[in-house]
Structure 1
Amino acid sequence: MVGKTVSTSLAALFILSGCSTISQKEAFDSVNQLTLEQGSKHLQWIKTPQESASVDESVRVLLSEPLTQENAVRIMLINNRALQQTYENIGIAQSELVEAGLMRNPLLGYSIGRTNGITTSTISVEVAFLDLLWIPLRRELSGLALEETTLSVGDSVLRSARDAKKSYIEACLAEEKVALYRSILKSHEASLQLAVRQYTAGNLSKRDMLKIQESYERARIESIKLARENATARESLNKILGVYGEQTHYTLSSEPQERSEPTVSEPGLEKRAISNRLDMRSAIKSVDYAAKQAGYSENTRLLDEVELSIESEKTTGEKRFNTFGIKLPIPIFDFGQARVSKSQAIYNQSVHRLYEMAVNVRSEVREGYAHLRYTYDIAHSYDEVIVKTNQQILEETQLFYNGMLDGIYELLEDQRRAGEAKMEALDALGEYKRAQADLEYTIGGKL
């Protein structure tokens, strides 16, 4: 019976091709492990409304207290929707791996014809049998692609963590500068009020009064600019955290940004970066994939498709006639040379890209380390020399003022200079902290 023959053939092919199941959790756990080794943890892949609600609750709890840098990174890792989009690449790559392990479905054909009272019916099954031989190669290719995707997603996580740290630093320093500048602006206001009273009493020239008024207005404009920068920095942080509405009403932690001297030295950092960077490891997998793809193209260049066919024909009044056949491609026009050449070019391209990345990463390490050292030295000079010196000058001016050797304008001016020195020190500290976050990503781990 042709029905029994077809069923037996399909069952055999199903067993040969194997059953594959999608295990995206295992691949995502690999990303979690990779990023955990480099300091980022608490990843969560949102797939259901229940998981989304759980993330919302976690974000609410974390934002109910003053936000620290660590919690900002935690919120970003579970709530940033750009990162959630990146996680879906794992699902795509895993699905392609499953698909690579499956044979193409057989083609079932049926035809019927009738003439002069005679009916002829034909049932046929065509199977791309040689496709079974390429399954191991395809699975190996898709496995490499999944590994490459896993490493690439891990690198995206670390990049996002770095950006979250930098955005948090910017938001904290912008808020602190606004608060610090209020005392400077009050000093300008006091100078202007005093100048107006002295001008009214005839003890100050109009020119000097106008100069003080112009200085106050410039200070007020600077205060507005700082408020604008604070709003911009705050929104940059909101975007990377993925928060909106009531969620944006959080407060930032008042803990001061620390300036600790770098304990690492430049020797060995390049090797550490080449070994640890996930984008480097992803590029290496890309080379492996291209090499396997080139071999696959070479192996299948002539016989990429072979079809087996089973046909059963029944004519009225006659016995059923069964035939078995095979279809082979004849390499007359296309010898597969174009596919082989293309895959070789892609392989060469991926090798050159890996070499370029290695050169660039080493350069980034040297540049990042130099930037860290220079910004630390600058921040140290501001804190230990510029700020302290201006504070001492202010204290001396206060003594002179108390002894009626200096006027109020000198005292107010030195107060402003001391405040401006602190503002510059904050800028230097922010530059150093951002350089620190950049170098940690560049070398693939904590300093």
Structure 2
Amino acid sequence: MVGKTLTASIAALVIISGCSTISQKEAFESVNQLTSEQGGKNLQWIKTPQEAASVDESVKALLSKPLTQENAVRIMLINNRALQQTYENIGIAQSELVEAGLMRNPLLGYSIGRSNGVTTSTLSVEVAFLDLLWIPLRRELGHLALEETTLSVGDTVLRSARDAKKSYIDARLAEEKGALNRSILKSHEASLQLAVRQYTAGNLSKRDMLKVQESYERERIESIKLARDNAAAREALNKILGLYGSQTHYTLSTEPLTRMEPAVSESGLEKCAIVNRLDMRSAIKSVDYAALQAGYSENTRLLDELELSVESEKTTGEKRFNTFGIKLPIPLFDFGQARVSKTQAVYNQNVHRLYETAVNIRSEVREGYAHLRYTFDIARSYDEVVVKNNQQILEETQLFYNGMLDGIYELLEDQRRLGEAKMEALDALGDYQKAQADLEYTIGGKL
């Protein structure tokens, strides 16, 4: 009879404490929804070899054609292993939520003694019954922790997407600057060949020939530096995309990088960022969690453990003797004041961190918007004035050369100046596009 009673009691406690909770899949889907609104679409959490193989096939398909910025971001979102590590934080937080809704396991004890032909057996069960009262509060804490983790992971996804865009832009610029430099180097080679022939024929002084040679060598060194920068930019992109081996043999798209005037004004961007930024929302959840944790510590400061025990004893020749008991901690030395003080300090710390986050975000918005406007103006000046002027100068020099009013050296020099102006314009355009990617992340949405 006692055994049936114990079994029924334990079963009831299990039913009460084992309520359903959000799954890891549901939590990850919420991250997908959060980030898809801001450009981080179709995330994939690799948990099995089959899923890893599926990702490899998707990456292979995307790399089979010239890589665009959009596809680079898609590859990063599913193939970047740093992100995959971050996704596991969701699994950890969800597991802690499940654990928060469970009671501690009951302690089952059994002892047997024998003396003078008499055997005594004792069966006991101890249950931390008060644990049941704190389960709803612990579960609420677990839900807040999971929400905070979800927002934090989402922010990491968006930051990674921004970094992938910038790495792609750097790789494109490095490749295109290398191509422009090759034409400039050919111009220097032509000048050097002509100078050597003229010097050999006695029509050019040694000093002037050496100047042309020195100019060529400097440009050749510059081409080596550009090749080095191109390799570094390419590897930075490979790293953030999670590519290796034959996967790195892709080609970049040759679609021209565009410059469109941003159709936004500074007004309202700060408020937009405060509302949309996932790290801001994560900081708010941290404050909520710390406040609830402080309340939990205050409520349990004197009585956080209570154990109920049932003991059944049977001695040979005697009837079974049942004992029911209770164990309570006596707050003589520890009144929970340290735990309460600590949780209050953690709460205050999170409040100050939230304020700091808000201040920093607002500053980042102002700085990012100013940087976007300045880089746009610089890129426009290079494109609409510097490059066009050098193009017209070259055309005029060509006319002078055709009329034998200018020499070949002047023509080649103006060709080089046009190439250098185009390289500077490329740098300015890249700075603008990276500023745009930064500001989109800063305000938490598309411009």
What is the TM-score of this pair, normalised by structure 1?
0.99
More off after superposition, 337-346 vs 6-15: 6-15
What amino acid does structure 2 have at the position aligned with 1:202? Answer: G
- Which SS does the other structure have where 1:119 is aligned? strand
What amino acid does structure 2 have at the position aligned with 1:366? Answer: R
- Which SS does the other structure have where 2:121 is aligned? strand
Q: Equivalent residues in 2 for 1:363-378 (5 A)?
A: 363-378=363-378
Per-residue deviation, 1:316: 1.4
What amino acid does structure 1 have at the position aligned with 2:253? Answer: S
In the alignment, which residue of structure 2 is the partner of 1:52?
52
Q: For 1:111-137, what per-residue CA distance to the aligned partner results, in whole angstroms no more than 9, with x for missing partners?
A: 111122211111100000000000000
Asked if structure 2 preserves the Cα contact closer than 8 Å seen for 1:22 and 1:95, the reply is no
What amino acid does structure 1 have at the position aligned with 2:96? Answer: E
> What is the rounded CA distance, in whole Å, between the counterparts of 1:255 and 1:305 in structure 2?
67
In the alignment, which residue of structure 2 is the partner of 1:129?
129
What amino acid does structure 1 have at the position aligned with 2:182? Answer: R
In the alignment, which residue of structure 2 is the partner of 1:413?
413
> What is the rounded CA distance, in whole Å, between the counterparts of 1:362 and 1:246 in structure 2?
43
- Which SS does the other structure have where 2:124 is aligned? strand
> What is the rounded CA distance, in whole Å, between the counterparts of 1:183 and 1:404 in structure 2?
24
In the alignment, which residue of structure 2 is the partner of 1:400?
400
> What is the rounded CA distance, in whole Å, between the counterparts of 1:208 and 1:258 in structure 2?
42
**1:313 counterpart = 2:307:** no
> What is the rounded CA distance, in whole Å, between the counterparts of 2:52 and 2:255 in structure 1?
31
Please tell me the root mean square deviation across aligned C-alpha atoms, in Å.
Answer: 0.8
Per-residue deviation, 1:5: 2.5
In the alignment, which residue of structure 1 is the partner of 2:214?
214
Per-residue deviation, 1:344: 0.3
What amino acid does structure 2 have at the position aligned with 1:185? Answer: L
- Which SS does the other structure have where 1:256 is aligned? coil
> What is the rounded CA distance, in whole Å, between the counterparts of 2:353 and 2:93 in structure 1?
22
> What is the rounded CA distance, in whole Å, between the counterparts of 1:155 and 1:12 in structure 2?
42
In the alignment, which residue of structure 2 is the partner of 1:166?
166
- Which SS does the other structure have where 1:110 is aligned? strand
**1:252 counterpart = 2:252:** yes
In the alignment, which residue of structure 1 is the partner of 2:83?
83
Q: Equivalent residues in 2 for 1:105-120 (5 A)?
A: 105-120=105-120
Per-residue deviation, 1:21: 5.7
What amino acid does structure 2 have at the position aligned with 1:443? Answer: I
Q: For 1:229-280, what per-residue CA distance to the aligned partner results, in whole angstroms no more than 9, with x for missing partners?
A: 0010001111111111111111100001000001100000000000000000
In the alignment, which residue of structure 1 is the partner of 2:142?
142
In the alignment, which residue of structure 2 is the partner of 1:299?
299
- Which SS does the other structure have where 1:267 is aligned? coil
In the alignment, which residue of structure 1 is the partner of 2:97?
97
> What is the rounded CA distance, in whole Å, between the counterparts of 1:203 and 1:255 in structure 2?
46
What amino acid does structure 2 have at the position aligned with 1:398? Answer: Q
> What is the rounded CA distance, in whole Å, between the counterparts of 2:381 and 2:187 in structure 1?
25
What amino acid does structure 1 have at the position aligned with 2:2? Answer: V
Per-residue deviation, 1:11: 1.2
> What is the rounded CA distance, in whole Å, between the counterparts of 1:102 and 1:166 in structure 2?
46
Per-residue deviation, 1:389: 0.5
Q: For 1:306-338, what per-residue CA distance to the aligned partner results, in whole angstroms no more than 9, with x for missing partners?
A: 000000111111111100000000000000000
Change in 2 beyond 3 A, CA 1:276/1:22: closer
> What is the rounded CA distance, in whole Å, between the counterparts of 2:419 and 2:48 in structure 1?
52
Q: Equivalent residues in 2 for 1:326-405 (5 A)?
A: 326-405=326-405
In the alignment, which residue of structure 1 is the partner of 2:441?
441
- Which SS does the other structure have where 2:112 is aligned? strand
> What is the rounded CA distance, in whole Å, between the counterparts of 2:311 and 2:19 in structure 1?
27
In the alignment, which residue of structure 1 is the partner of 2:176?
176
Q: Equivalent residues in 2 for 1:174-213 (5 A)?
A: 174-213=174-213
- Which SS does the other structure have where 2:47 is aligned? coil
Asked if structure 2 preserves the Cα contact closer than 8 Å seen for 1:28 and 1:90, the reply is yes
Per-residue deviation, 1:425: 0.4
**1:224 counterpart = 2:224:** yes
In the alignment, which residue of structure 2 is the partner of 1:64?
64
In the alignment, which residue of structure 2 is the partner of 1:239?
239
Task: Kindly report structure 1 stretches of 4+ aligned residues shifted beyond 4 Å.
Answer: none
> What is the rounded CA distance, in whole Å, between the counterparts of 2:2 and 2:217 in structure 1?
96
What amino acid does structure 1 have at the position aligned with 2:152? Answer: S
In the alignment, which residue of structure 1 is the partner of 2:278?
278
- Which SS does the other structure have where 1:310 is aligned? strand
| Number of aligned positions between the proteins | 447
In the alignment, which residue of structure 2 is the partner of 1:33?
33
Per-residue deviation, 1:19: 4.0
> What is the rounded CA distance, in whole Å, between the counterparts of 2:426 and 2:82 in structure 1?
31
> What is the rounded CA distance, in whole Å, between the counterparts of 1:326 and 1:94 in structure 2?
33
Q: For 1:188-231, what per-residue CA distance to the aligned partner results, in whole angstroms no more than 9, with x for missing partners?
A: 00000000000100111111111111110000000000001001
What amino acid does structure 2 have at the position aligned with 1:219? Answer: E
Per-residue deviation, 1:444: 0.2
> What is the rounded CA distance, in whole Å, between the counterparts of 1:186 and 1:34 in structure 2?
51
What amino acid does structure 2 have at the position aligned with 1:151? Answer: L
> What is the rounded CA distance, in whole Å, between the counterparts of 1:271 and 1:441 in structure 2?
14
Per-residue deviation, 1:18: 2.5
Structure 2 gap ranges (5+): none
In the alignment, which residue of structure 1 is the partner of 2:325?
325
**1:422 counterpart = 2:406:** no
> What is the rounded CA distance, in whole Å, between the counterparts of 2:19 and 2:445 in structure 1?
40
In the alignment, which residue of structure 2 is the partner of 1:153?
153
**1:263 counterpart = 2:263:** yes
Q: For 1:328-351, what per-residue CA distance to the aligned partner results, in whole angstroms no more than 9, with x for missing partners?
A: 000000000000000000000000
More off after superposition, 298-307 vs 33-42: 33-42
